[in-house]
Amino acid sequence: MADPKLDPTFRNARREALVILVIYTVSLLYTILFCHFFAYNREPETIRLYLGIPDWVVWGVMLPWAFNVGVTFWFCFFYMADDNLDIPPDELEIESELRGEGTGES
């Protein structure tokens, strides 16, 4: 049997899901590691304030949050493929027939 061609929407969705996992992992590692070293058990006099906000909040939470807004913008408008999720009219009949086949699988 010839190797069938994967559905492009499936292929794109899987690739995008992997990129999301990478974004999530990098965000987790940066935030947790930064806060581990700079947020926990600090002496108050060592905390620098930016507009009244502690330095570790600015660099450990707000900066990655802002960075993620940028990454999300890139992901949504430049990386995510514009796949057609609708069923083409000529396939509707096939889909309807397949839904009605009723052969249970275990």
46-75 binders of another protein (CB under 8 A):
47, 49, 51-54, 56-57, 60-62, 64-66, 68-69, 71-73, 75
CB atoms within 10 A of CB 86: 8
What is the rounded CA–CA span in Å between residue 13 and residue 9? 6
CB of 83 to another protein, least distance (A): 5
Instruction: State the amino acid at position 72 in one-letter form.
Output: T
CB within 8 A of 80, min separation 6: which ones? 12, 16
Residues binding another protein: number (CB under 8 A): 73
Give me the least distance between CB of 45 and another protein, in Å please.
8
In whole angstroms, how close is the CB of 73 to another protein at the nearest point?
6
Dihedral (CA of 36, 56, 67, 72) sign? positive
Residues 14-33 that bind another protein (CB under 8 A): 14, 16-17, 20-21, 23-24, 27-28, 31-32
Contact flag: residue 85 with another protein (CB under 8 A):
yes
Q: Rounded to a whole number, what is the largest CA-CA distance in the chain?
A: 72
Residue 89 binds another protein (CB under 8 A): no
